[in-house]
């Protein structure tokens, strides 16, 4: 239910309760599932508390001042000396006392959550695109061993290194439940790391306005048991499955003959385009187009026919396939687990 509806039905109290419960969920910095996010949340709550107290104090003083002004005091209520002491206490000592502890703990938490990782930590390279995420897994020599898009798998309880960059505009990589934001800046590689303490599917979101479809530039981060992750990665390294039926083989022909292959790669076929997501194992992903719609055959068909309807302004053109071509193409793509 939307906030507006809740407000209409229950008034302010219901709306406030809803906002508080919004702290939970798969895209909330206040529902940490990893050590870095835990520290960030631990700093956030006292900051909110102290900031609320200071706001209330200031508003109360303001109310007192406004109220007293009506009383038409002929003489000044305080001596010059008293006023000066008040300015020193309220204008210098109080703000410093309220902010210095936060500055220090923010600095120290920043160092902890960005501490260097061991050299052999699993490394994932993520490149921000308009408006999706290109993902490569690197081996210890730094060579790319597997490529995917919009869905990142990691093993739990293991610190993972992320190399972040962009070849277009500035994006920001953010998985609120696990770690703070890190910008992806053209021409440089930024580093971040995260450890998931609990298995789960967390939603990541671009956190730096990057054009029309910035809001639909999301991804899923799947944290799973190490064995499940190893199986997943071994599978992603494989080339695409060969068509198992004649219909699938025809679907592959459609893909290669339509313009799809100019922009998309399917490893193991001649399709080696680089402007769109790698589709080698597209059927293994949970969502399409930057976590915009679930990866079901209906959405896939809708996406291929008219991607501009689902995500207006994105860089994939509509296609003009006959219904028969579309059906076989869908059958083939669905087989690419």
- The answer to whether 139 contacts ligand HEC (rule: CB under 6 A) is no
CB atoms within 10 A of CB 224: 18
Residue 277 binds which one of Cu ion, ligand HEC, none, with CB within 5 to 8 A depending on kind? ligand HEC
- The answer to whether 260 contacts ligand HEC (rule: CB under 6 A) is yes
- The answer to whether 331 contacts ligand HEC (rule: CB under 6 A) is no
CB 260 within 8 A of CB 321: no
Binder to ligand HEC among 267, 315, 327, 334 (CB under 6 A)? 315
Residue 127 CB, shortest distance to Cu ion, in Å, is 11
Contacts with ligand HEC: how many residues (CB under 6 A)? 29
Q: Which residues of 297-307 are buried (b: 16+ CB within 10 A; e: fewer)?
A: eebbbebbeeb
- Secondary structure (DSSP) of 96-145: HHHHHHHHHHHHHHHHHHTPPPPTTS-EEEEEE-SSSEEEEEE-TTS-EE
Closer CB to ligand HEC, 91 or 313, in the complex: 313
Crossing angle for the helix pair 246-257 and 323-334, to the nearest 10 degrees = 110
* 202-231 binders of ligand HEC (CB under 6 A): 213
Residue 192 CB, shortest distance to Cu ion, in Å, is 16
96 backbone dihedrals φ, ψ, rounded to 5°: -65, -45
Residue 35 CB, shortest distance to ligand HEC, in Å, is 30
* 263-302 binders of ligand HEC (CB under 6 A): 263-264, 275-277, 279, 282, 288-290
CB 293 within 8 A of CB 303: yes
* Separation between Cα atoms, residue 147 and residue 126, nearest integer Å: 10
- The answer to whether 210 contacts Cu ion (rule: CB under 5 A) is yes
- The answer to whether 217 contacts Cu ion (rule: CB under 5 A) is yes
- The answer to whether 131 contacts ligand HEC (rule: CB under 6 A) is yes
Residue 198 binds which one of Cu ion, ligand HEC, none, with CB within 5 to 8 A depending on kind? none
- Secondary structure (DSSP) of 157-170: TS-EEEEEEESSS-
Closer CB to Cu ion, 208 or 224, in the complex: 208
Residue range at the interface with Cu ion (CB under 5 A); choices 16-24, 205-213, 225-233, 252-260: 205-213
- Tokens encoding 16: 């406030």
Residue 210 binds which one of ligand HEC, Cu ion, none, with CB within 5 to 8 A depending on kind? Cu ion
- Tokens encoding 192: 């971040």
Binder to ligand HEC among 33, 132, 152, 335 (CB under 6 A)? 132
Query: How many Å is the maximal CA-CA distance in the chain?
Result: 98
Site of tokens 């508003």: 59
- The answer to whether 206 contacts Cu ion (rule: CB under 5 A) is yes
Residue 131 CB, shortest distance to Cu ion, in Å, is 6
CB 319 within 8 A of CB 306: no
Residue 48 CB, shortest distance to Cu ion, in Å, is 28
Binder to ligand HEC among 230, 262, 306, 324 (CB under 6 A)? 262
Residues engaged in binding Cu ion (CB under 5 A): 171, 206, 210, 217
């Amino acid at each position: 239910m939307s906030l507006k509806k809740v407000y209409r039905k229950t008034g302010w109290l219901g709306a406030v309760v809803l906002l508080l419960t919004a702290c939970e969920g798969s895209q909330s910095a206040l529902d940490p599932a990893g050590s870095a996010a835990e520290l960030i949340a631990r700093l956030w709550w006292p900051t909110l508390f102290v900031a609320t107290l200071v706001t209330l104090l200031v508003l109360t003083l303001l109310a007192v001042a406004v109220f007293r002004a009506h009383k038409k005091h002929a003489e000044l209520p305080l001596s010059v000396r008293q006023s000066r002491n008040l300015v020193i206490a309220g204008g210098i000592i109080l703000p410093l006392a309220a902010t210095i502890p936060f500055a220090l703990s923010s600095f120290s938490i920043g160092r902890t959550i960005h501490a260097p990782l061991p050299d052999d930590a699993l490394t994932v390279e993520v490149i921000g695109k308009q408006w999706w995420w290109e993902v490569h897994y690197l081996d210890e020599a730094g060579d790319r061993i597997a490529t995917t898009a919009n869905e990142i798998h990691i093993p739990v309880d293991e610190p993972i290194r992320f190399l972040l960059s962009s070849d277009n505009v500035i994006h920001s990589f953010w998985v609120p439940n696990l770690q703070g934001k890190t910008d992806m800046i053209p021409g440089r590689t930024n580093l971040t790391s995260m450890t998931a303490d609990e298995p789960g599917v967390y939603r990541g979101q671009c956190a730096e306005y990057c054009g029309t479809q910035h809001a639909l530039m999301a991804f899923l981060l799947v944290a799973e048991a190490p064995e499940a992750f190893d199986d997943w990665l071994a599978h992603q390294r494989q080339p695409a499955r060969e068509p198992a039926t004649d219909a699938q083989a025809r679907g592959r022909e459609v893909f290669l003959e339509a313009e799809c292959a100019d922009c998309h790669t399917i490893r193991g076929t001649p399709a080696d385009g680089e402007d769109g997501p790698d589709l080698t194992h597209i059927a293994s992903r949970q969502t399409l187009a930057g976590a915009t719609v679930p990866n079901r055959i209906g959405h896939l068909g809708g996406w291929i026919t008219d991607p501009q309807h689902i995500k207006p302004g994105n860089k994939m053109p509509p296609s003009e396939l006959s219904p028969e071509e579309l059906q076989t193409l869908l059958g083939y793509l669905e087989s690419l687990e």
